[in-house]
Amino acid sequence: MQAQRVRILTVCSGNICRSPLAELTLASRLEPWGEFEVSSAGSIARDGDVMPDEARALARRFGVDPEQHRARYLTEDIVGDADLIFAMARSHRSDVVRMAPSKVSRTFTIREFARLSSTLSDQQLEQQSSGDTLGDRVAAAVRVVFAQKAAAGYVSDPELDDVVDPYRRSSATYERSWNELIPAVEEVARVLTIAARAT
């Protein structure tokens, strides 16, 4: 990982609903640390697209400003620049790993990461998040979370690791999508905050 800044990428399809909300919310939670750079992209995104009204309204409800977001298409260069990647669904994780196989241990669906990391206490993460730089400490924390895959085994329903796509669907589907996404973002923020403050 980068010694000075830790680059986090969130990925969905169009980069106008799920990944922007994940990006904006996670960035707001990590802002006090100043060394995280959070961005997003979409596997079928059209560069420059804006978030739909429903997504913008929900972003504001969660305390983030969606107005400056513009979609961008996911490329190998974007993936290559990222230190840690959170996909909104397993299909997006597969897209990322196909582009950059070396990123496999640093690419998760966001709900998968939250499911795995939630088995670790603050104290466990603090003990494992060692290193001289933020990048070192985040890398150590991510290795601990990745190692939980073997202990946790497979999830009973793989779709539980995905965030449902609400685009062009009902208001209820938007609500469901955010209800799946926001707790996962908060759990990611917990892990990264512990790594950031570890000494």
Residues above pLDDT 70, as percent of the chain: 95
Closest CA to 191 of 152, 154, 145: 145
- The reported pLDDT for the residue numbered 117 is 96
**What pLDDT is stored for residue 3 in this prediction?**
46
Long-range contacts of 150-157 (CB under 8 A, 24+ apart): 151/119, 152/115, 152/116, 152/119, 155/112, 155/115
Within 10 angstroms of residue 46's Cβ, the number of other Cβ atoms is 13
pLDDT < 50 stretches in the chain: 1-3
pLDDT at 118: 94
Question: Which CATH fold would you assign to the domain 6-197?
Answer: Rossmann fold (3.40.50)
pLDDT of residue 29: 95
Per-residue pLDDT, 156: 65
pLDDT of the residue at 1: 42
Buried b (16+ CB within 10 A) or exposed e, 109-123: bbbbbbbbbbebeee
**pLDDT at residue 199, as a whole number:** 64
For residue 68, the model assigns a pLDDT of: 87
Whole-structure pTM value: 0.93
Model pLDDT for residues 90-108, shown as the tens digit of each residue = 999 999 999 999 999 999 9
Which residues are CB-contacts of 57 (< 8 A; sequence separation ≥ 6)?
A: none
**What is the overall mean pLDDT for the chain?**
92
- Quote the pLDDT of residue 144: 94
